[in-house]
Amino acid sequence: QTGPVIDMPVPASFNDITQDPSLENYIGWVWYEKEVLLPLRWLQDDLNTRVVLRFGSAHYYSIVWVNGVQVVEHEGGHLPFEADISSIVQGSPGIPCRITVALNNTLTPHTLPPGSIQYMNDKTRYPKNYFVQNIRFDFFNYAGIHRPVVLYTTPSVYIDDITVTTTSSESVAMVQYQVSVVGSTLYSLSLSLRDQEGKVVATGDGPAGELKVLNPKLWWPYLMHENPGYRYSLEVKMQAQANGVLLEDVYTLPVGIRTVHVTSTQFLINGKPFYFHGVNKHEDADVSVQRPCHYPYAEEIMDLCDAYGIVVIDECPGVGIKMPESFGNKSLQHHLVVMEELIRRDKNRPSVVMWSVANEPASELPPAAYYFKTVIAHTKALDPSRPVTFVTDANYALDRGAPYVDVICVNSYFSWYHDPGHLEVIPLQLTTQFENWYKTYQKPIIQSEYGADSVPGLHSDPPLMFSEEYQKAMLREYHSVFDKKKKEYVIGELIWNFADFMTNQGTTRVLGNKKGIFTRQRQPKSAAFVLRERYWKIANESSCLPPIIKSHTLFL
C-alpha cells in the first residue's frame, strides 16, 4: 500500500511541480519508480559487460533498488553516485528493469547543509505530531532527483578514474596523468593528446606518466586571450584479456593547460594577475527548478564554463553550519567524504581554480579551528594543485578557520543588514573591513558577496531600500572602494546575486530573495546595467581585446 502516486519528471524538484502546498513544503520520504527495457546486447555477454546505474544527484539521502534488490545507499545531495547492477539485470533479457528510489530530504545537524527538526508540542496551537524543518541558510530547500539518471556500460575491465594536472612555461607544458583501471591487474594503457585540429601533440603509456607539449596553447579565462577556454583532448585507451576475450575501454577527457598561483596580494592564472568579477548564482526559476549555488553546479554547466573560459570557485554544500553540534566528528567525517566526491567529479576542470569548503559557517566557535584545519588539509591532500578557501561573515579577529585558507573570501552587506538605509557608512565600513583582514592575515581578499534587495519596478528618488535605485546606489558605493583596494590586495568582487531566487516564507522575503540583478524570470533590473558597464570597464583595463560583455567568474 502506498500514498498518493503522481507522475514526476526527472530531473526536477518535486516541490514546485504541482499546486499542492503539502508537497511544496514536504519533509520526509518520497518514492520514485520507473521500468525500462535494456538493450539485449547489454544482457547477453554477462561475463564481459558491466551495467551501471548513475545518478547525477538526489537530495539528500537515497536508497536505490533494482528489481527489488538494494544496490546503493548515498548520503548528500548535489553530487553523483552510481551502482554496478550487472548481476541483477543480466540473464533476464526482455524483462523490464524496475528502478526504485527512496529519497529523504530531512536535514539534521550532521548533514550538508545542516538543519534540525523541531516538534511543536503545544497542542493548543499545533496539530498532533506537527513539526518544522529549521534551516540556517537563505534559499529554499528544494528536493528530488535533481540531475540526470543514466544507465551505461563498460567492459568488465574498465577505466575507473583519470587525474590530470598541468604545468607550463612559454615554450613547453607538462601534462601529468594517473589512470586507475579496475577489474584486472593485467592490462595495457596508451594515451594520445590531440589539439583542437585533431593533431596528436604527445603520446604516453602506462598508468602514470608525463606528456610533454611543445609551444602549448594555454587555457585562458574569457577576455584574457583571443582564444579563451582552449582544451586539448586526452584519449586514454585500455586493452585487457578476460575470459578469453580482448576487452577495450576508451575514454576521452578534455584537458586545459593552465596554472594557478596565489601570492600575498594577487591571484595568478598562467602567471598573470586575475581579478575575479562575476556573480553568485542560484539556478531556480519559475519553469525550471534546480539547485546549484552554495553547492556544486550541474555537470553540463561546468562543461560550458570549461569551454567558454568562465572561472569557477567550486563550493561544496557546506552552507548554514551554525550549530555547535555541526562541528563534531560525525559532521566532520561526512564533510570529508563530500569533498572527496566533489574533487573526484571536478578535479580535471580547468575552469575550477579554487575549492571552497563552506559558506558563512559559525567560524568564531572554538571547534571551528580544528574542523576547518582538518577539512582544508584533507582537500589539499586530495588536490595539491588548487588553493582552498571558505566564505566567512565572521569578525576578522574572531574567525578560527581563516588561518588555514589561501584566499580570504568575505561577505558583507553594509547599509542592508547592518545600518539599513545608510549608504553613507559603506566607504568607511568596507575600507575598514578590508584593512583589518589584510593586516591580520596578509592574504588576498575577494568580496564574495555584497548586494541589496530590489523589487522590480519599484522606484524611489532619493533612493530608498527595496527600490531599484537603492540597489544601484549600494553597488556604486561598494565599487568605489573596490577600485581603490584592488590596486593593493583585493582580487575580486562577486555580486549577490545573479537572479532573484526562492527562499522559505518569512516577513522579510516577498516571494523569495530579491537581491538578483535579474528577476527570477531572467529579466534585467537597473543594477544589471551598472554591473555590465563595470565589468566591461574591468575587462578593458586588463585586455587589449575588443570589449565584450560577459561575466568572468561564477561562485558555485
Which of 450, 472, 451 is CA-nearest to residue 463?
Answer: 472
Q: What is the DSSP letter of 501?
A: B
Q: What is the DSSP letter of 267?
A: E
Burial string for 7-16 (b: 16+ CB within 10 Å, else e) reads: ebebbbbbbb
Residues tagged active-site: 360
AA letter at 135 = I
The strand order across the sheet containing 272-273 reads 260-262, 267-269, 272-273
Helix axes 368-382, 329-346, angle to 10 degrees: 30
Helices (H), 240-367: 299-308, 329-346
Which of 161, 209, 164, 199 is CA-nearest to residue 182?
Answer: 161
Provide the pairing of β-strand 232-242 with 245-255. Answer: antiparallel
The strand order across the sheet containing 245-255 reads 200-205, 188-194, 232-242, 245-255
**Euclidean distance between CA atoms 23 and 460, whole angstroms:** 38
Coil vs helix vs strand at 117: strand
**Euclidean distance between CA atoms 547 and 487, whole angstroms:** 22
**Euclidean distance between CA atoms 498 and 7, whole angstroms:** 32
Omega of the bond leading into 9 within 30 degrees of 0 (cis): no
